[in-house]
Amino acid sequence: MKAYWFDNLPGDQRAPHDSGRVVDPSYLTKLGIHHYEFPDDLDSVNKIAAERNYKNRDEIEISPELLPGYEEKVKNFFHEHLHEDEEIRYILGGGGYFDVRDKGDEWVRIRLEKGDLMIMPAGIYHRFTTDEQNVSRVGHAMTCAIRGDMLISAQYTKALRLFKEDPKWTPLKRGDETDANPFRKDYLKIRDGGLDSVPDAQRMT
Please write the tens of the pLDDT for every residue from 20-44: 999 999 999 999 999 999 998 999 9
Cα of first residue to Cα of last residue in the chain, in angstroms, is: 12
Measured between alpha carbons, how far is 100 from 118 in angstroms, rounded to an integer? Answer: 12
> What's the pLDDT at 64?
80
72 labelled binding-site residue: no
Measured between alpha carbons, how far is 38 from 69 in angstroms, rounded to an integer? Answer: 31
- Angstrom distances, CA of residue 143 to CA of 133, 146, 151, 155: 10, 11, 10, 8
> What's the pLDDT at 72?
82
87 labelled binding-site residue: yes
83 labelled binding-site residue: yes
Q: What residue spans define the domains of the chain? A: 2-192
140 labelled binding-site residue: no
**59 closest CA partner among 154, 156, 125, 171:** 156
CATH label, 2-192, candidates 3.90.870.10, 3.40.50.10190, 3.30.1330.10, 2.60.120.10: 2.60.120.10
The percent of residues in the chain predicted with pLDDT above 90, rounded, is 66
Please write the tens of the pLDDT for every residue from 97-133: 999 999 999 999 999 999 999 999 999 999 999 888 7
Other CB atoms within 10 A of residue 36 CB: 19
Mean pLDDT value across the chain: 84
Please write the tens of the pLDDT for every residue from 134-184: 543 332 223 333 344 333 343 478 999 999 887 777 899 999 999 999 999
